[in-house]
Every structure is written in C-alpha cells, then in structure tokens.
Structure 1
Amino acid sequence: MQPFWTTRAFRNGIWVLLILTIVFMAKQVEFLFYPIGIFFATVLTPFLFAGILFYLTAGLVDWLELKFKRRSLAILAILLLLLLLTVVFVLTLGPLITRQLLALLDTFPRFAEEIRKLHKHYKWSEVVIIGQDRSANLLKEGLGLDVERVVNRNLRHAEEEEVLRRAFEA
C-alpha cells in the first residue's frame, strides 16, 4: 500500500488548495489587478466582437463569393448590410428609448414621494440611502446624468405641486 500523499486524490486536493490560495491572495491585492483588468477588457472587447462577427458571417461570405466571384465584393456587401441593419436599429429604437427615459424622469417625483412616505412610515433610512446611492451611480455612469440635480429639481416640482394641490383643495 502506498502512502496517502502519493495518491492522485491527494495531489488533486493540493492543486485545488493552491489555486484557491492564489485566488485569495489575488483578492487581497485586487487594487493592483484592477487597472490590468480594465486594460484587458478595453483591448479584448473589440477582438471578441470581431470574432463573433466573423463566426456569424463566414458562411455568408463563402456563399456570396460564389455568386459575386470576388471575395472582396462579398465582404463589402456584408459590411453594407451590417451598416444598414445598424442604422435601422438605431433609427427605430432610438426614439423609443428616448421616450421611455423621459417618461421615467417625468414620473420620478411620484417615485420620490412614495419613497419619502415609506421612509416616514417604516424609518428605512439606511435601506433608502443604499438604494439611492446605487441608483444614482448607475444613472450617473450609464447615462451621464447629474442625478442629484435631476432628483432635486423633480422633488422641488413635486413639493410645489403638493402645495398647490393643498391650496386648491382647501
């Protein structure tokens, strides 16, 4: 019988522990790897996109090459088709996305008022603040909006509407 440290299961366990240790140590100095990750994400994304496009259009290029007798014409036809599809996509969905975003910003005072009511009723100060920070960061990074200015403006309008409603109800 052989010693346990020479068995295959023991060696595999050591490899797993070694990999987990390396991952743990890498998480401890994550700030060193963050810029490297950003660099690779920035550089590799176009190559990944190009590889996917190549994979999706390779058969079509071969088929069009048989029809046009020149590969360059087949590639040009596919590029023009992709450009046309992109333009149609942007022209059809662009206004829809814009309308949806503006509708969201218009209804934001109602959402803020509901959150304020929940905050007063349940005293959810920490939950609301955490959610508000995450939403603000998402909107600021994704849309480039100055969320604080938009929220304050919408809250001010909501408060003015509430004052006017109370004045006319009385």
Structure 2
Amino acid sequence: MPYEISDPELNERILRLVADAADGDNQDLIAEMITTVIKLHRDHATRGDLKLINTALKEMRYSNLVFSRHKEPKVTIFGSARLREDDPNYQLAERFAAEMVAHGWGVITGAGPGIMEAGSRGAGPDAAYGVSIRLPFETHGNAVALFFISQAPRPD
C-alpha cells in the first residue's frame, strides 16, 4: 500500500514535483518525505515541533554531505568531558580508538575534552571525526579531530 495523502490530486502534484526535481532511483523516498511533511502540517503539528523537525532534517542533510566522502565504518565514543589524561577510563578510550582504527574504522566523538579527546587522540588526526552541539561551555572542538561540525542544541 503506497504511503500517500488522502487527496489523489495532491499525490499527483507531489509525484510531478519529485519527477521535475529529482532523478535516479530514490524518487519514491523523496515523495514519501514530502508526503510526511504535508501530513505533519495536516496533523496540526505545532510550530515548535515543525521547527525541531526542520532543523533535524537540515542537520541530517548536512551531516550526510560531510560524511559521504568518508566511506569507512565508524564507531562513536561517548563519555565525560571532565576526565583527565591520567584517568584509567581516558586511557582505555584512547587505546580502544587506536584499536578500532587499526581495524579500519573511523572514530566519532563529541569533539570536546575528556573521553572525547581521548577517542580523537587514539584515532589520530586522519581517522577522528568531531561532531558537537553548541553549548555555553566546551565551545570548540579538540585539536585532534579531522573536522568539526557544530550542531544547534535541541530545545527543551
């Protein structure tokens, strides 16, 4: 059963728009994404919800664009920004990241200090990826990450 709106004319307009704007094998998915946006509107999603979804979609598009050049598998390391280099968990994260890189993986962290820096250091500058949100503290990526993407924080 196709994913559509209950208005056949609008479904046809969506398909025409997609045919005019997109080529390739993914026209069905593009049409479904547009349909979902219209359904959100018709479901009376609040402006705040629509802003959140719009921001998330834009961020996902940008992240996809940035990461599309880096095809290797990646592991993400999460953890405290407040650990220091002499902490056993910091050292473990650094060793883990180095081991993952030795097996052909990239390492994604939050690009901050602590565990995130340990993961970036262990990965080295050619395999460390830093992705972060904007916060009132920890506003800059660590010095090791290959590149740094700063995303807007999510509203409460």
The answer to whether the superposition gives a TM-score over 0.5 is: no
Structure number with greater CO (CA < 8 Å, separation at least 6) is 2
Higher fraction of strand: 2
- Structure exhibiting the larger radius of gyration computed from Cα positions: 1
TM-score by length of 1: 0.23
